[in-house]
């Protein structure tokens, strides 16, 4: 059986080999195209394997432990120490399930004083499994996870039963990124699968386009084959084995080059380069699949044609589109008018060529845009810690005055404890070590807890207008053209007396109301200062019940939507009753229209004092004042300005704080870099601050490390930005392949036309002008088409990442519209030069073959 298979393969490969290499010029573009396809996939496949290794090495470098247990009571801590010994395990004697890290490991248990209970509480760091004595490495992830599962099942449940009468919140557990590695690998695999599908579609499109060009120019040959009985099976086999031989010839060079490129990209990371030979096998399978699919449809369509129809269209007649009117060439200049008419005659061919070739220039720009998006994402400020406030009692009054002061105390202590590290970055006239803040900002969030009747109570603490049946009225002049998500405000349709204002209005419920209070003003203003602001944000604190100032964003779903400026008026509508029920099946603007018709509203006029130009947004943020002060005489809080509460119907409670830490920008060199040691220091300081100073006044508080520094370090070492740039350059190289292959065959087919023209009296100079006019015309058209396609492709990328992707990820990052001038120049120059030289080179070839002119009666006229 194997002998028959080998005989079948060797016979077809030998025949295809002779066909390809005896006609090498005819197949040269396929060598280039398949080589580029293999490079594209090879780079992504090898980098996917390497990313998994880099991620693990990065995590292992930053985390010496697998598990954290926080807020243990003394009894729980002592019990955990005792049963961590080899001879005291719950499961097996003389078998150590876990190990509590000590000062010798660099991670001793953290001890805090709880002022409420007047007792100590402990945070412990746990490692599962043992180090391998021979290699010094930890056991496999699967084994460690098995230990962790056993620990949670048997030990954690026992811990919960100890110290039941302790009044403070129970202990919390947390798995570190080391135990999350499997899910990370699964996510990387899913990402690679998506990329592979995209590359497969792109590769099939490329190879099919080129093969269709070849097929179109060799219809006569295939027509002859079919007159001798060739069917789809035979045509397909011939085409496939020819492409397969080319794929074999380029496979090893492509595998070596892609490995070398990825190695050089990852070299700066300093981690061991991981290479998996299965990726090379996957590259072979991918290449074979591309070749197989790319020739099926062209050969199937050809096999369904009548042989004679292929034979009679051996010239360019199938590319000709009837002008539907006769051109009167008498009295017209030649060859100018003649070739311009030819451009119209061959418009179908020209459109196909321009779009198929220039689309790869547009994809080149998209690839660079993707690299820019990746860099923007790395530099985007993200929360390192969250502080969730579970007791709403007095946090609004105490949060700013106490927390901000304590945060600055942590920053001062950090500067003192890491003074030597920071001083390395002091410069003349600038004392970095004296001004550095490890905690760069706190964002108060979680405006209010949902109430029964909200359209989505599961959304958590939020005041989205669409959830509380509110909406915003905006003057038409303040809404940009083509903005979506708005409806016209028809006063005749509303259930109650409408807001009586001047001008016509548009209405939207893509609004989120955010509370501003004097107690959180410093932290809020520090948070907003990272964005571009027009106007005076401090003016919001001058609001009175008669004149309410607000700070607003300029966008919905990250798309600039409004023309707001300081002094503009907007109106917030608050539901106060209803005339009839609203159909629960309605959504979007239909729901909003029905609510306006069926509900009663009151209207609050607001004046814009500042506009935030580039804040990330799903719904437009509207910051409204809600200031309360404590009245010692009545022992109650008194509303000084309750605009937020009046509009939303909710108390303005800060239920969550987002804590931002210092993070050097991606790509910056010779700057201070935060490490896991620094992050652990800040986290411990936050917990100590809350435990010792704040729990008695603010209730239950939970601090969570979101591991943002570690995630950023992993993303940086994955080098996707460099990979996208390399891939973009490869994609750009596809464009000239299509240009020259198509144009050379096109003008080769027109040579007989030129011979006839010469026989009618045209000289070599006239023929030369035909080529030049064709080249210049294609250059002009390619200039226009490349700019249009590049702009459209960039905008689609911009829209996808600002609007579509956040709807799945839930995270809004503001990406600017990006079409770099240098990339556009490269794409345009590539298209224009290819448009011209792809016509000029066939002209040079035409006059080197004078025998064709002589046979056509053209003689040897001067060029």
Confidence of residue 451 (pLDDT cuts 50, 70, 90): low
Mention every residue, 6+ apart, whose C-beta is less than 8 A from residue 243.
30, 34, 207, 211, 291, 294, 295
Q: In the listed set 116, 143, 176, which residue is the last one of a domain according to the structure?
A: 176
Q: For the ranges 135-149, 453-467, 762-776, which has the lowest average pLDDT?
A: 453-467
pLDDT at position 80, please? 85
Cα–Cα distances in Å, from 736 out to 358, 384, 830? Answer: 9, 47, 8
Looking from the CA of 1 toward its CB, the CA atoms found within 13 Å total 0
Highest mean pLDDT among 328-332, 444-448, 832-836 belongs to 832-836
pLDDT at position 197, please? 92
Highest mean pLDDT among 34-43, 148-157, 267-276, 396-405 belongs to 34-43
Residue percentage of the chain with pLDDT more than 90: 9
Mean pLDDT in residue range 321-347: 65
Query: In this structure, is residue 59 part of a structural domain?
Result: no
Domain that holds residue 770: 317-379+706-863
Residue 347 burial class via C-beta count within 10 angstroms: exposed 0-12, middle 13-18, buried 19 and up: middle
pLDDT at position 821, please? 79
What is the β-pairing status of strands 511-516 and 620-625?
parallel
Q: What sections of 541-612 are H helices per DSSP?
A: 588-598
**pLDDT higher than threshold 60 for residue 323:** no
Residues 698 and 770 in one domain: no
Residues 685 and 696 in one domain: yes
Query: In this structure, is residue 194 part of a structural domain?
Result: yes
Query: In this structure, is residue 526 part of a structural domain?
Result: no
Average pLDDT score, the chain:
79
Residues 109 and 214 in one domain: no
Of all helices (H) and strands (E), which one includes residue 158? Answer: helix 157-160
pLDDT at position 392, please? 46
Mention every residue, 6+ apart, whose C-beta is less than 8 A from residue 33.
206, 207, 210, 734, 737
Residues 799 and 818 in one domain: yes
Contact assessment for residue 696 and residue 116, using Cβ atoms and an 8 Å cutoff: yes
pLDDT at position 458, please? 46
ω into 335 cis (within 30 of 0): yes
pLDDT at position 497, please? 46
What is the β-pairing status of strands 599-612 and 548-553?
parallel
Query: In this structure, is residue 848 part of a structural domain?
Result: yes
For 212, the token pair is: 């269709």
Q: Give 511's strand partners.
A: 620
DSSP 556: E
Confidence of residue 648 (pLDDT cuts 50, 70, 90): confident
**pLDDT higher than threshold 80 for residue 435:** yes
CA distance 339 to 343: 6
User: pLDDT tens digits, residue range 806-862?
Assistant: 877 777 888 888 777 788 888 888 888 888 888 878 877 777 664 444 544 444 444
pLDDT at position 700, please? 58
Confidence of residue 445 (pLDDT cuts 50, 70, 90): confident
User: pLDDT tens digits, residue range 154-202?
Assistant: 888 788 777 655 555 568 888 888 787 778 888 888 888 988 998 999 8
User: pLDDT tens digits, residue range 99-136?
Assistant: 888 887 777 888 877 665 667 788 888 888 765 444 44
Mean pLDDT in residue range 594-604: 85
Q: In the listed set 141, 158, 176, which residue is the last one of a domain according to the structure?
A: 176
Residues 659 and 762 in one domain: no
Residues 560 and 700 in one domain: no
pLDDT at position 609, please? 93
Residues 588 and 695 in one domain: no
Structural domains of the chain, count: 5
Residues 551 and 589 in one domain: yes
Provide the phi-psi class of 500: left if phi over 0, else alpha when psi is between -120 and 50, else beta. Answer: beta
pLDDT at position 716, please? 84
User: pLDDT tens digits, residue range 654-713?
Assistant: 777 888 898 888 777 778 888 888 988 898 888 877 766 544 444 456 788 888 888 888
Reported pTM: 0.78
CA distance 713 to 81: 33
**pLDDT higher than threshold 50 for residue 304:** yes
Residues 745 and 604 in one domain: no
Query: In this structure, is residue 482 part of a structural domain?
Result: yes
**pLDDT higher than threshold 90 for residue 522:** no
Query: In this structure, is residue 57 part of a structural domain?
Result: no
DSSP string for 301-360: HHHTS-HHHHHHT-SSGGG----SS----TTS-TTHHHHHHHHHHTHHHHHHHHHHHHHH
Query: In this structure, is residue 114 part of a structural domain?
Result: yes
pLDDT at position 127, please? 85
Residues 464 and 566 in one domain: yes
pLDDT at position 166, please? 54
Mean pLDDT in residue range 344-350: 79
- Coil, strand or helix at 820: coil
Q: For the ranges 303-307, 650-654, 775-779, which has the lowest average pLDDT?
A: 650-654
**pLDDT higher than threshold 80 for residue 256:** yes
For 5, the token pair is: 């298979």
Query: In this structure, is residue 830 part of a structural domain?
Result: yes
Mean pLDDT in residue range 618-623: 89
Confidence of residue 253 (pLDDT cuts 50, 70, 90): very high
**pLDDT higher than threshold 60 for residue 269:** yes
Confidence of residue 331 (pLDDT cuts 50, 70, 90): low
B/e letters for 18-47, b = 16+ CB within 10 Å, e = fewer, are: eebeeeeeebebbbbbbbbbbbbbbbbbbb
Cα–Cα distances in Å, from 479 out to 234, 357, 505, 609? Answer: 63, 39, 9, 17
Cα distance from N-terminal residue to C-terminal residue, the chain: 63
Residues 628 and 502 in one domain: yes
User: pLDDT tens digits, residue range 535-574?
Assistant: 999 898 888 888 899 999 999 888 889 999 999 999 898 8
**pLDDT higher than threshold 70 for residue 314:** no
What is the β-pairing status of strands 505-508 and 487-488?
antiparallel
Residues 645 and 662 in one domain: no
């Amino acid at each position: 059986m194997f002998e028959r298979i080998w005989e079948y393969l060797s016979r077809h490969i030998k025949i295809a080999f002779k066909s390809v290499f005896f006609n090498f010029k005819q197949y040269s573009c396929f060598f280039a195209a398949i080589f580029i396809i293999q490079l594209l996939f090879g780079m992504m496949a090898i980098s996917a394997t390497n990313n998994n290794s880099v991620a693990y090495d990065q995590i292992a470098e930053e985390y010496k432990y697998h598990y954290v247990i926080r807020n243990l009571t003394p009894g729980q801590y002592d019990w955990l120490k005792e049963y961590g010994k080899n001879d005291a395990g719950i499961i097996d004697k003389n078998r150590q399930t876990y190990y509590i890290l000590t000062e010798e490991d660099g991670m001793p248990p953290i001890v805090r004083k709880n002022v409420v209970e007047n007792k100590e509480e402990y945070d412990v760091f746990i490692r599962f499994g043992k180090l391998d004595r021979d290699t010094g490495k930890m056991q496999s992830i699967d084994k460690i996870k098995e230990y962790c599962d056993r620990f949670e099942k048997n030990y954690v449940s026992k811990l919960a039963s100890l110290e039941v009468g302790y009044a403070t919140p129970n202990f919390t557990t947390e798995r570190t990124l080391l135990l999350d590695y499997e899910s990370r690998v699964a996510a990387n695999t899913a990402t690679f699968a998506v990329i592979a599908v995209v590359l497969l579609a792109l590769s099939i499109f490329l190879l099919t386009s080129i093969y269709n060009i070849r097929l179109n120019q060799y219809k006569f040959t295939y027509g002859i084959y079919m007159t001798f009985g060739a069917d789809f099976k035979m045509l397909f086999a011939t085409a496939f084995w020819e492409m397969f031989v080319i794929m074999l010839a380029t496979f090893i060079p492509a595998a070596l080059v892609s490995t070398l490129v990825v190695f050089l990209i990852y070299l700066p990371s300093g981690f061991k380069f991981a290479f998996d030979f299965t990726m090379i096998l996957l590259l072979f399978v991918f290449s074979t699949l591309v070749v197989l699919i790319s020739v099926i449809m062209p050969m199937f369509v050809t096999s369904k044609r009548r042989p004679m129809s292929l034979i009679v269209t051996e010239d360019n007649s199938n590319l000709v589109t009837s002008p539907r009117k006769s051109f009167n060439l008498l009295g017209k200049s030649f060859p100018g008018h003649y070739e311009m008419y030819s451009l119209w005659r061959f418009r179908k061919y020209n459109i196909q060529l321009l779009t198929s070739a220039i689309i790869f220039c547009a994809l080149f720009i998209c690839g660079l845009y993707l690299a820019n998006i990746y860099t923007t994402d790395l530099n985007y400020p993200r929360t390192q810690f969250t502080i969730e406030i579970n007791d709403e009692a007095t946090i609004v009054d105490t949060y700013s005055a106490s927390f901000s002061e304590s945060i600055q105390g942590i920053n001062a202590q950090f500067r003192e404890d890491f003074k030597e590290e920071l001083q390395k970055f002091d410069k003349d006239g600038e004392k970095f070590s004296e001004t550095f803040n490890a905690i760069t900002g706190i964002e108060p969030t979680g405006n209010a807890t949902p109430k029964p009747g909200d359209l989505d109570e599961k959304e958590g603490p939020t005041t989205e207008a669409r959830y509380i049946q509110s909406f915003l009225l905006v003057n038409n002049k303040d809404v940009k053209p083509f903005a979506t998500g708005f409806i016209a405000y028809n006063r005749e349709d509303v259930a109650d007396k409408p807001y009586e204002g001047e001008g016509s209005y548009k209405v939207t419920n893509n609004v989120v109301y955010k509370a501003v209070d004097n107690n959180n003003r410093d932290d809020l203003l520090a948070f907003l200062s990272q964005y571009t602001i027009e106007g005076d944000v401090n003016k919001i604190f001058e609001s009175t019940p008669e004149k309410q100032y607000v700070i607003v964003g300029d966008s919905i779903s990250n798309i600039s939507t409004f023309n707001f400026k300081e002094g503009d008026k907007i109106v917030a509508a608050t539901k106060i009753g209803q005339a009839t029920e609203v159909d629960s099946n309605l959504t979007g603007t239909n729901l909003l229209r029905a609510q306006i018709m069926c509900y009663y509203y009151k209207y609050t006029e607001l004046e814009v004092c500042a506009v935030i130009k580039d804040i990330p947004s799903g719904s437009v943020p509207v910051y409204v004042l809600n200031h309360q002060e404590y009245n010692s005489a009545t022992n109650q809080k008194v509303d000084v300005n309750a605009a937020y509460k009046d509009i939303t119907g909710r108390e303005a409670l800060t239920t969550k704080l987002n804590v931002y830490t210092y993070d050097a920008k991606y790509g910056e060199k010779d700057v201070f870099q935060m490490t896991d040691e620094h992050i652990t220091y800040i986290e411990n300081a936050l917990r100590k601050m809350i435990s010792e100073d704040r729990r008695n006044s603010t209730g239950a508080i939970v601090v969570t490390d979101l591991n943002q520094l570690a995630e950023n370090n992993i993303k940086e070492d994955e080098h996707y930005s460099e990979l996208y740039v390399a891939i973009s350059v490869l994609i750009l190289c596809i464009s000239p392949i299509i240009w020259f292959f198509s144009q050379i065959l096109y003008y080769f087919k027109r040579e007989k036309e030129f011979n006839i023209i010469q026989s009618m009296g045209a000289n070599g100079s006239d023929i030369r002008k035909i080529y030049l006019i064709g080249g210049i015309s294609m250059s002009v058209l390619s200039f226009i088409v490349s700019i249009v396609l590049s702009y459209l492709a960039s905008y689609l990328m911009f829209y996808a990442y600002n609007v579509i992707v956040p709807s799945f990820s839930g995270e809004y990052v503001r990406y600017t519209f990006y079409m770099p001038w240098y990339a556009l120049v490269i794409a345009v120059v590539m298209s224009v030069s290819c448009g011209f030289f792809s016509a000029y080179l066939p002209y040079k070839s035409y006059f080197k073959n004078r025998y064709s002119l002589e046979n056509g009666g053209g003689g040897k006229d001067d060029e």
